[in-house]
Amino acid sequence: GAMLQTALDLKGKVNVGRVDAYVNTKLGTRFGVTGYPWLVLLHQGRLYEFDGIRDPKLMTAFALEDFATKESREIPSPLGEEVDSSLESSEIPLNVIKLTTPDLKKLDKAFVMIHAPWCGHCNKLLPTFGKAATQLLGQVTFGSIDGTDPDNKPIMTAFDIKSYPTILMLHDNSYTPYEGDRALNSLVSFASSGYLDAKDNTQPMPTITAISSTASKGTKNEDTVEMAKNVHVVEWTTDMFDTAMQTPAKSSSELFLVEFYAQWCGPCRAFSSLYEEIAGELKKSSDIVVARIDGALEEELRTRMNILNYPTILLVDKTNGQMYKFSSKERTKEAIMAFVNNGYKEVKGSPVPPPTSSTLSIILAAIIIGGIGWSIGHFKNGKKKSKSVPKKPKKKIA
C-alpha cells in the first residue's frame, strides 16, 4: 500500500517503522495517539505530525522536506519519567481544580479531564476547558487529573484510560464519557445538561481501589473484565471496512457482522468473549466475516454509520448495500445467531453510507495496488492467503 511504497522511496534516507498501538498501549498513551493510522516524523528530538492524504508522493515529500513547514513539539518522555510540569502550555487554567485519587472519591458531580503534560492535544484543549469552567462557575465543578502522576494510577485503572485527553462527566454515582468536538460551546452544553441525553453511554461509577505494591509490579489485586483476544474476530479500521465494501461481492463474503465498541465501555468488554464465541461458531458454518471496529478511534466511520452507543451490532449485506441493526437488548448467543440466520430480513434495513470521495480514491488505489486476492485474504484472516482469488493485473497509469 501507500506506506510500503513510501518506505521504498525513503530507503537509505529516512528510517520507516510501524507500531501497533493496540498492542503497545504504553507507547500509544505516551504519544497521545487518538486515532489510527497516525503518521509522524521524529527529527532531532521533535515530533512532526503528517495530516495530509496518505499518498506515497506526499508522504515522501513530507519526510524529506515538507515537515519543516509544520508545527512541532518535543518527543514525549517515557511514562514514569520525570516531566517538566512548569511548561506554560500544560498549566491548569483558572477555575479548574487539580484533582488526585482521594479528591475524586469525594465528588458528587464534576466535569473532569484526564491529561498528560506532554500531550499536545491536551495542552491545546486546556485553555478552552478553562473558559468552559468559568462560564459554568458555581454550577459544575471542573477538574483536571494528571494521568502520569503515580498517585493517580488507581483512577487510570478504574476507568481503563487508554488515551489523552479523556473527558468524563461524573454524576449520580455514574459517569458519562464526552465524545463531542472540542469547541467551547460543545463542552459547556454537555457539562451543563447534555450528558443527560447520553444515557446509553452512561456507566456505573467504578470502584477506585488503591494499588498494592504487588499490583504496581504488574499483578492485579482485583478482578477486572478485559476485552477478549481476537481469534476469530477481525479488528477493522475505517479503510479496511470501506475497502471490503468496494471489492466485488462475488469475490468475498457477502455478509459482514460488525460490532462497534470502545475500550472504555464496560458492556463491550463483558460482551467481547461472547462475540468471539459467536465468531467461532459462524466460521464453522458460513463465510460470514465477523469484525470489530473501535468507534472511539474511527470517528469518521462512527459518525457516517450513525453509531450512537456501544456496543452496536450491525449485519451488512454487500449484495444490496444494506445494513441491519441488531436492536434487541438481549445480547445472547441464541438471539444474535437467530438474527444472522435470516432474522435480519425481518428488520428494516438502511443503505450503507458511502465514503467521501477522497477516502474512496485511496481505497480504490489500495485495491488496484494490492489486488483483489490480497484484499480478501487480508480482511478474512488479517494476513495474506496463499490460495485465494487470482490478482488482477495492475493497470498502467499514464
CATH for 139: 3.40.30.10
What is the model's pLDDT at position 35?
A: 62
Greater confidence (313 vs 52) lies with 313
Greater confidence (63 vs 369) lies with 63
248 plus 340 within the same structural domain: yes
Most confident of 88-97, 123-132, 198-207: 123-132
242 plus 370 within the same structural domain: yes
pLDDT category of residue 221 using cuts at 50, 70 and 90? very low
31 plus 167 within the same structural domain: no
106 belongs to a structural domain: yes
Does 327 have pLDDT greater than 80? yes
Task: State which residues form the domain around 49.
Answer: 2-74
Evaluate the CA torsion angle 258, 278, 382, 380 in order and state its sign.
Answer: negative
397 belongs to a structural domain: no
State how far the Cα of 283 lies from the Cα of 230, in Å rounded to an integer.
13
What is the model's pLDDT at position 178?
A: 94
Beta bridge partner(s), residue 97: 143
Average pLDDT of span 49-67: 85
Greater confidence (166 vs 390) lies with 166
In this structure, what are the phi and psi dihedrals at residue 151, rounded to the nearest 5 degrees?
A: -65, -20
What does pLDDT average to over the chain? Answer: 77
Most confident of 76-80, 187-191, 299-303: 187-191
22 plus 106 within the same structural domain: no
Provide, rounded to the nearest whole percent, the portion of the chain with pLDDT above 90: 21
Indicate yes or no: pTM above 0.75. no
319 belongs to a structural domain: yes
135 belongs to a structural domain: yes
Average pLDDT of span 197-220: 64
3-state SS of 255-303? EEEEEEECCCCHHHHHHHHHHHHHHHHHHHHCCCEEEEEECCCCHHHHH
